[in-house]
């Protein structure tokens, strides 16, 4: 029987697993992109690794995709309800740079991280500032159709006009009000009502400003995503992704205004997919929580960017992950072992699609079985931990033919996007957790450290230096403290 499991994805709209069937020949996919006012931290990158996993699953299943990721370079207010100051303008004032400089600088930083994490580029990266005219037209239509009201602070969407408001969040509006960072707005009828257009306050001229029927000002953040996605993917499209925090407010508001705008009684987007948070200790990693680590911090500490990617893929995208040094150490060690095992198998064949992989292994039942396992894992809501497990199995399965083994490894690599076909294990040597050492290695190091201490006590500096050189070669760094020597792996 040919392998081909039906792709099933967990739809936040309804909170259930559903068969994924694109509406047309090419699936339309929109992922909420970065607001470019600060460096993205590690937690910010999880949604893009998740969307990339989805892209690779589509490629595997032979589903064409058009992917759009927006760049929010204007309009994202400090409060998510779209009131108050603009994040970019606050950053510009803080860093004493122009808003355009800030946007360009942090857009580059985002693309650098995307490239380092081996994330497939989207088809389009629309900038919000280039779509202000269609945003004004969109809001004007909502106003004409009676979904809005005006306040001195701007044009507001009237959520009372939308009987289905908040269905995605599956919570009553009171709960949403508790959960979200909502603030008091003079004259707002309901706390859930949100700004479509944010008018300038009298006497406070914005840097980036446009004239509109509601005065000079800037569009609301929620409006940006509705307008840019429809402009590039059509009025209805297949999938919308983002972090789980967007499920409660941003995406709720996108749906409300889009369905009011379209007015055709159909759901705007059929599948809503959300990745869970990355936790740093017990804290959610949000930009507002202070200095959270960036990818650059990891690479400076000697980790490969793919160690972070592997750490993420070791959990399912809908599981919360705890980011710890021990976890990323373990990921780097696994990455190094994988690269070392795969190096002799190179060059790997091309096996980015299921059809390609199956065609490359016609008479290898063990390979067929592993490809079936991988396909089942992809189809079960993108189970990357199971794909990783199948990759490990392929490296120790004696029944595989050499070609079968190479194909299974290449297939798993194409889905995981770890770049194992080219990764140099020597470049991954530097970091090793003490916990990764086996008993014998640890004892040998401790003996050398003790010998060195003894040599120093006997003032045998030559011998002490020799031992230090030996430890150096093993990648062990010794620090002498008043309480005795401490050692760690570099
Ligand atoms: Zn968005």
Full pLDDT tens readout for the chain, 490 residues: 568 999 999 999 999 999 999 999 999 999 999 989 888 999 999 999 999 999 999 999 999 999 999 999 886 776 655 556 778 888 888 888 888 888 899 999 999 999 999 999 999 999 999 999 999 999 999 999 999 999 999 999 999 999 889 888 886 655 555 545 566 778 899 888 999 999 988 888 888 889 999 999 999 989 999 999 999 999 999 999 999 999 989 999 999 999 999 999 999 999 999 999 998 764 444 444 456 889 998 888 889 999 999 999 999 999 999 998 889 989 999 999 999 999 999 999 999 999 999 999 989 999 999 999 999 999 999 999 999 999 999 999 999 999 999 999 999 999 999 999 999 988 887 555 565 677 888 888 889 999 999 999 899 989 998 998 888 877 787 888 777 788 877 6
Ligand 1 centroid distance, CA of 71 (Å): 10
Question: Ligand 1: distance of its center to the CA of 407 in Å?
Answer: 38
CB atoms within 10 A of CB 217: 22
Q: How many A from CA of 35 to the centre of ligand 1?
A: 10
What one-character DSSP code corresponds to residue 34? -
CA 255 to centroid of ligand 1, rounded, Å = 10
Q: pTM here?
A: 0.84
What separation in Å is there between the alpha carbon of 425 and the centre of ligand 1? Answer: 38
CA–centroid distance, 279 to ligand 1, in Å, is 22
> How many whole angstroms from 31 Cα to the centroid of ligand 1?
7
Q: How far apart are CA 196 and CA 310, in angstroms?
A: 39
CA within 13 Å, CB half, 9: 24
Residues that place a CB less than 5 A from ion ligand 1: 32, 225
Cα-to-centroid distance, 33 and ligand 1 (Å): 7
- The rounded Å distance from CA 117 to ligand 1 centre is 22
353 CA → ligand 1 middle, Å: 30
Q: Which two tokens stand for residue 321?
A: 């992950």
Ligand 1 center from residue 250 Cα (angstroms): 6
Q: Is 210 helix (H, G, I), strand (E, B) or coil?
A: strand
Rounded (5°) CA angle 438-441-445? 140
The helix/strand/coil state of 294 is: coil
Q: Which residues contact 467 (CB under 8 A, 6 or more apart)?
A: 448, 451, 452, 455
């Amino acid at each position: 029987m040919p392998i081909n499991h039906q792709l099933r994805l967990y739809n936040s709209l309804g909170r259930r697993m559903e068969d994924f069937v694109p509406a047309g020949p090419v699936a339309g996919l929109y992922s909420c992109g970065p607001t470019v006012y600060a460096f993205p931290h590690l937690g910010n990158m999880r949604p893009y690794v998740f969307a990339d996993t989805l892209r690779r699953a589509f490629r595997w299943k032979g589903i064409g995709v058009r992917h759009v990721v927006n760049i929010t370079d204007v309009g994202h207010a400090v409060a998510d309800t779209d009131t108050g100051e603009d994040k970019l303008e606050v950053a510009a004032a803080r860093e004493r740079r122009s808003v355009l400089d800030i946007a360009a600088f942090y857009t580059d930083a985002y693309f650098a991280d995307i490239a380092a994490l081996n994330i497939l580029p989207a088809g389009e990266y629309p900038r919000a500032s280039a779509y202000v005219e269609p945003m004004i037209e969109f809001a004007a239509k909502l106003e004409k159709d009676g979904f809005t009201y005006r306040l001195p602070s701007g044009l507001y969407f009237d959520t009372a006009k939308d009987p289905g408001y908040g269905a995605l969040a599956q919570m009553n509006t009171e709960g949403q009000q508790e959960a979200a960072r909502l603030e008091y707005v003079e004259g707002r009828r309901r706390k859930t009502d949100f700004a479509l257009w944010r008018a300038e306050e009298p006497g406070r001229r914005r840097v980036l400003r446009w004239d509109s029927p509601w005065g000079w000002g800037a569009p609301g953040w929620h409006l940006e995503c509705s307008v840019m996605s429809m402009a590039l993917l059509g009025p209805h499209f297949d999938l919308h992704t983002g972090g789980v925090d967007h499920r409660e407010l941003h995406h709720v508001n996108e749906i409300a205004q889009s369905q009011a705008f379209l007015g055709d009684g159909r759901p705007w987007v059929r599948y809503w997919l959300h990745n869970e948070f990355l936790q740093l200790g017990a804290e959610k990693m949000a930009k507002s929580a202070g200095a959270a680590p960036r990818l650059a911090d990891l690479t400076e500490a000697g980790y490969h960017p793919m160690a972070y990617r592997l750490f993420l893929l070791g959990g399912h995208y809908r599981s919360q992950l705890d980011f710890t040094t021990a976890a990323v150490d373990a990921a780097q060690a696994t990455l190094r072992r994988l690269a070392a095992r795969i190096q002799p198998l190179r060059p790997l064949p091309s096996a980015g699609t299921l059809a390609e992989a199956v065609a490359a292994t016609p008479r290898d039942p063990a390979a067929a079985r592993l490809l079936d396992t991988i396909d089942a894992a992809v189809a079960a809501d993108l189970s990357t931990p199971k794909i990783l497990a199948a990759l490990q199995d392929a490296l120790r399965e004696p029944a595989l033919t050499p070609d079968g083994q190479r194909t299974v490894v290449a297939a798993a690599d194409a889905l995981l996007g770890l770049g194992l076909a080219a990764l140099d294990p020597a470049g991954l040597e530097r970091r090793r957790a003490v916990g990764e050492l086996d008993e014998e290695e640890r004892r040998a190091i401790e003996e050398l450290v003790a010998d060195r201490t003894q040599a120093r006590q006997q003032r045998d500096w030559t011998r002490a230096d020799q031992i230090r050189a030996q430890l150096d070669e093993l990648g062990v760094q010794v620090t002498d403290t008043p309480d005795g020597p401490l050692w760690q792996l570099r």
